[in-house]
Chain A
Amino acid sequence: MTEMTRRERILAASRGERADKLPFFHWWRHSQVGWAERECRNRGMGMAWARPSYTVELRDVDVVEQPVMVEGVKVLRRTYNTPVGAIYLDEKREPGTGEWHGMRSWRDVSPWQTARLVKQPEDYEVLKFIVEHTEYTADYFPLEQAKDWLGEDGCVVDHHPHSPMQTLMIDWIGSEGGRFFIHHAKYPDLVEDLYRAISKSREPMYEIAARSPADVIWCGDNIDGVLVNPRLFERYFMPEYEKMAKPIHGQGKLFASHMDGRVNVLKDLIAQTPLDIIEGLHPPPMGDLPIGEALSLWKDKVIWVGFPGSIYILGPEATKKHTLELLREVVPGDRLTIAMSTENLVSNENLRVVTSVLENADLPLTGEKIDRIEKSLG
């Protein structure tokens, strides 16, 4: 077999076909540019880029941003003025935000909200107005540009926001102090009504995605089974994934969701979703579902592993050991890709040590092959 390109490897594995080597890559948003990154890419590490296929326009909504001081802390206040009322959020930013990877700080932390759009029951009506006046228009330029730049060096995915209920839980109502759960228990009608409105307004976005030049449509859903418990997942997430999957699969594309939390309690439900790729799955000790178990449970799915930050912090020796153990767990290594990280920056030495294990991970993996890799590393 002629050697596959990094892009071919990622896509072959993602379609459930056998790649020549276990695909591994770094997400651009967490990647440094420098000698270690270059060395690792020369040794087989791919790149993945997430960009949107659409632009968003708000009709009859006036958005104003201004810095304000709240309890002695400088925050950015974004106010949404609508004919039915105004709501605002406050956002705190670390140094470096907007100066390199999108909105990430030097330490790779995105801005976080210190005040959420939903503060009281009256705010739901304003948000519903905003949702119903949100328009999505296809814009494939960012994807085409990234595809052109990356070429065979990696994979470009179409990036979508949190699914509707996750948008409410993580972005708009927020989970601080359990606020989302409390609102969901106290004002179920308001929460569900807004959920339905978001789901409806997103329909054109799913159609745009399905026709985009990306091979993989990726919902950055940040699923964690502690927060999105099985009852919530079944009621609000599975139906939405079904809805998204229809146009995406209709155009022969792959559908991925970011599940970077502890998903053991959701494993049987996840098996029933139409998702092709479970992306960002973190093995223990960060997550709570071993990759081997997930692969055997989800026979029709592919896993893009997110390398756990709690191993990186232990240093290169522990990182090497964990990578080798991971290989042994997933023999023969099909239906799998490994991302250097889906959450954090990775040190030069950790990047190199993972590469040194994975660069020789020819498929199908066997115990002997892994022994040989281990020996070669000394």
Chain B
Amino acid sequence: MTLEKYLASLKEGIINLDFGVVVKAATEAMAAGVDPNAAINEGMVAGMAVVGDKFEKGEYFLSELVVAAEVMKEGMAVVKPYLKGSSAPGLGKVVMATVEGDHHDLGKNIVTTLLRVQGFEVVDLGIDVPTDKIIGAVKEHQPAIVGMSALLTLTMVKMGEVIEALKSASLREKVKVIIGGTPVTTEFADSIGADHRAANALEGVKKCVAWVASPERRQ
């Protein structure tokens, strides 16, 4: 197979959500000496971009986005050992969490996956994450962005608590804060002093990319 063929298989395999095709193409491509960065970026990431487009156009649903990301994860598992530290420069770190008392994780996981696909290093703290744990992670990892998800009106107030705690720890100026989840409105985001409320995962990820690409990038 030619290089183009391997890359096309990887890309199409992602678009068609085909675990078998992607794992096979990745295995064969690595055995044939294909550059792992090309396999990732021109193969799988290019496929994910098409999946993202289809999602935005309403041709694909969230489930397809989730499955495509999983297919990519399996492909990545094959390619990663060949990377030997030669990966492209990342976009920076993001600390992500579903706030304390809240166990909804679908939205957060999708955002996490898409951020990783874009090249962010994401520290995913999981669900039901207490405020001090988020602050601790910000201190430890020094991310450019903190992302929070809440799906309950009971728990969304915790996002405000985190922002206040960031201020108290003199960390607020060092990070951008992006929040999301069903009950979270722009008014609410403004009221607690978040930088952005994401309407959906793709829009939120675009915002994150814009932040780190902009001159006021704070890292």
**Contact (Cβ within 8 A) B106 A176:** yes
Nearest CB of A to B204, in Å: 15
Scoring A residues 165 to 182 as 1 if CB is less than 8 Å from chain B, else 0, what string do you get?
000000000011110011
A-B pairs with beta carbons under 8 A, tally: 61
**Contact (Cβ within 8 A) A231 B183:** no
Taking CB as reference atom, which chain A residue is nearest B107? A226
**Contact (Cβ within 8 A) B67 A182:** yes
Q: Is the CB of A69 closer than 8 A to any CB of chain B?
A: no
> Out of B17, B19, B105, B153, which one reaches A310, CB within 8 Å?
B153
Taking CB as reference atom, which chain A residue is nearest B66? A178
Q: Which residues of chain B are near A360, meaning CB under 8 Å?
A: none
**Contact (Cβ within 8 A) A177 B17:** no
Binding site for A on B (CB under 8 A): 17, 19, 58, 61-63, 66-67, 69-70, 103, 105-106, 109-110, 152-154, 156, 182-183, 185
> Out of B19, B63, B156, B182, which one reaches A178, CB within 8 Å?
B63
Q: Is the CB of A344 closer than 8 A to any CB of chain B?
A: yes
Nearest CB of B to A227, in Å: 7
**Contact (Cβ within 8 A) B67 A178:** yes
Binding site for B on A (CB under 8 A): 107, 109, 112, 175-178, 181-182, 184-186, 226-227, 229-232, 262, 265, 285-286, 309-310, 312-313, 344
> Out of A185, A230, A232, which one reaches B67, CB within 8 Å?
A185
> Out of B58, B61, B66, B156, which one reaches A182, CB within 8 Å?
B66
**Contact (Cβ within 8 A) A177 B105:** yes
Question: In the complex the two chains form, what is the Cα distance from A265 to B110 in whole Å?
Answer: 19
| 23 pairs, CB–CB < 8 Å, chain A vs chain B | A109-B154, A112-B103, A177-B105, A178-B66, A178-B69, A178-B70, A178-B106, A178-B110, A181-B63, A182-B67, A185-B67, A227-B106, A229-B61, A229-B63, A231-B61, A232-B63, A285-B183, A285-B185, A286-B183, A309-B153, A310-B182, A312-B153, A344-B154
Nearest CB of B to A174, in Å: 10
